[in-house]
Amino acid sequence: MSVLKKFFKDTIIYGLATVLPRLMNFVLVPLHTGNLKTTSFSDNTTFYIYAAFFNVLLTYGMETAFFRFFTKSKEKDKIFSTTFISLVVTTFLFLIAMLLYSHQLSSMFGISQKYFNLLIGVIVLDTLVVAPFAYLRATGRPIKFAAIKISNILIYVLLNYFFLWCIPKFNLSFSWYDTSDLVQYIFIANLVASAVTLLLLLPYFFKTKLHFSLTIFKQLINYGWPIMVAGLAYVINENFDKWVIPNLLDKDINGAYSGCYKIAMFMTIFIQAFRLGAEPFFFSHAKEKNAKQTYALIMKYFVITGSLMLVFIIAYLDIFKTMLVTDSNYWQAIQIVPIVLLANLCLGIYFNLAIWYKLTDKTRYGMYLSIVGAIVTIGLNITLIPEFGFIAAAWTTLVAYGVMMILSYLLGQKHYPVPYNLKQILGYLFMAVALSIVALNTKANYYINTIIVLVFLGLIVLFEKKEIKRLLKRN
């Protein structure tokens, strides 16, 4: 099996583990927007912002550090065991601290005690399974990885439908069911799904002899802490707008903004699937003679696929809008979707470019770049949202990710030059943006927009025909 063929196979399987859960989440978007008021949807968004923040904080870069050292170390059991022990110990220390000061912390975060307790439960359970999931990926077990991930989301989705649709639809009566606080049941469903996932991964808690190596731990921490800082900055870049809008504007607008933001999840799904397959591949392939040429080729096809998705979603935006965000009260923020889609494509390119600092062990640059993005995000959001409203938050996201992408490319060409074909990459991006603008101005004429999508697809086939034939022939 060729290198690229193996890469695409693993990416498809890992992508399945990501795409199916995300697609199931798409099923939940109309359920949530149809049953929750915009203010409650804002509470749901805030809950998961804090969950994302603590997830990065509690894993402190250990997952990526594990991949880096596991692939090149002869003492693989010690790498896994040390990673696992460190995460378990710090997670339980976190749990104790949260329980001791839960009242004060819930007040500080501005969420109810009930939501805070559920939040801590979800965070702890999700952190405990990080090392076992990383082990499955690093040892090439994508099917088992995918099966457990999909089981998690199936439980989560089914419970969401039970709580938010089945009980009201069939007038089921439960003494504990509170119709005035439906959003809590989304969090309860998450807690149950996370607990089941932990049970499924318990065999990997005892996979090797528990051996903690201080030397290995120091290596992992030195490699991982900049990734943690970068991750925290990423959470800011991704979520600061949805955290600050309730304060600068109001929760109603934030709920609408967050609901429409979900439509851009198509691009997020693609990026996440790519990262799950690409990160282990990039590390394992780094010693090959043609590694840089392979990375350049993968980048080009990543941009082509992402650009095609951008054009397709914008061409049929009104259809996606009515499918996913069923309550028209949310549509006041629909104009953010094209901007956020392009921003996420830039973020995907940035993740692709990130191989240069990961392969050269210069992860501090990832931290610096993310901090720059966070500074742009915080500064522009605070400055522009009061003046221009929520649309400024979407443009800020695009500017922040665009700046990070450009800086990463310039630094990468200095420290680990990869022969990216800038002419072709920029050509596809400019074509996609131009055709998307045309599609936005056709007033949802789907005949014209279908022609636009087919034109772009035809141009891709025309320009890449020789390369596609060569790859098919090789495989």
Distance CA 242, CA 288 (A): 43
Give me the phi and psi of 141, to 5 degrees please.
-120, 60
| Axis crossing angle, helix 3-35 with helix 291-315, rounded to the nearest 10 | 30
User: DSSP letters of 113-136?
Assistant: HHHHHHHHHHHHHHHHTHHHHHHH
Burial 87-126 (b: 16+ CB within 10 A, else e): bbebbeebbeebeeeeeebbeeeebeeebbbbbbbbbbbb
pLDDT tens digits for 34-82? 999 999 999 999 999 999 999 999 999 898 888 888 877 777 888 888 9
Question: Would you state the pLDDT for residue 334?
Answer: 93
Sequence ranges of the domains in the chain: 3-474
Question: Would you state the pLDDT for residue 1?
Answer: 45
Distance set, CA 142 to CA 12, 17, 18, 280 (Å): 10, 8, 11, 11
The DSSP call for residue 355 is: H
Question: Would you state the pLDDT for residue 276?
Answer: 66
Distance of CA 200 to the CA centre of its chain: 23
Which of the residues in the chain have pLDDT under 70? 1-19, 21-22, 208, 276-280, 283-286, 471-475
Question: Would you state the pLDDT for residue 349?
Answer: 94
Question: Would you state the pLDDT for residue 475?
Answer: 53
Distance CA 378, CA 82 (A): 36
Extract the tokens encoding 213: 């190596």
